[in-house]
Amino acid sequence: MAALKYSRQRESIKHYLMTTKEHPTADTVYMHVKKEFPNISLGTVYRNLNLLTDIGEAIKI
């Protein structure tokens, strides 16, 4: 697998997941990340959550 290109939005999503003690929905993640990146789309959040799950950096329950 090729090296993953750095993304500030992905890092923000990862940071939020690491700092919450709850199991947030994609919509909850979207609402928090949108504060830092107002132009982010819900689709981008979903794609990044799936990517983080695929590479083992997040767990889907």
Local structure of 1: helix, strand or coil = coil
Count CB neighbours of 2 within 10 A: 4
Q: How far is CA 61 from the centre of its chain?
A: 15
Q: What are the tens digits of pLDDT across the range 30-51?
A: 999 999 999 999 999 999 999 9
pLDDT in tens, 6-21: 999 999 999 999 999 9
Amino acid at 56: G
Q: Flag whether the pTM goes above 0.85.
A: yes
Gap between the Cα atoms of 7 and 22, Å rounded: 24
What is the maximal distance between C-alpha atoms in the chain? Answer: 32
- All structural domains of the chain, each given as residue ranges with its CATH number in brackets, are 8-54 (1.10.10.10)
Angle at alpha carbon of residue 39, lines to 4 and 17, rounded to 5° = 55
